[in-house]
């Protein structure tokens, strides 16, 4: 079995506006992905994708929290250090 792998997605100091653009783009892409997963499930199987529908509001809530932090940074003329790592590991398909 392969060992887990880690990849850096974000690692930098951003102005409030740049942080907003980058993070909104990432979160909106994930929200769109789950919306399309749900649409595909409805079209192919006639039922909603429960996991996708669960994940969409979680992502929207997280994005709202991020936007609040960014607004605080903008209001105080501060920059934001943003880091994000993607961790990937193999799992068996029967689990």
Q: Where are the alpha helices (DSSP H) in the chain?
A: 16-45, 50-75
Residue 94 confidence (pLDDT)? 79
Kindly report the pTM of this predicted structure.
0.88
Kindly state the percentage of the chain with pLDDT values over 90: 93
Do 55 and 34 form a contact (C-beta atoms < 8 A)?
yes
Q: Which two tokens stand for residue 62?
A: 């997280």
pLDDT band at 1 (very low <50, low <70, confident <90, very high): low
Q: Alpha-carbon torsion 33, 35, 38, 43, what sign? A: negative
Confidence check: pLDDT of 93 > 90: no
Q: Are 64 and 24 in contact (CB under 8 A)?
A: no
Using CA atoms, how far apart are residues 54 and 32, in angstroms rounded to an integer? 13
């Amino acid at each position: 079995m392969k060992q887990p792998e880690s990849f850096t997605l974000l690692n930098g100091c951003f102005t409030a506006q740049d942080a907003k653009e980058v993070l909104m783009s990432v979160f909106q892409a994930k929200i769109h992905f789950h919306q399309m997963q749900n649409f595909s499930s409805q079209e192919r199987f006639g039922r909603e994708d429960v996991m996708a529908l669960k994940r969409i509001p979680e992502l929207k809530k997280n994005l709202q929290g991020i936007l609040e932090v960014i607004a605080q940074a903008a209001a105080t003329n501060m920059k934001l250090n943003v880091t994000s790592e993607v961790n990937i590991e193999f799992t068996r398909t029967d689990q």
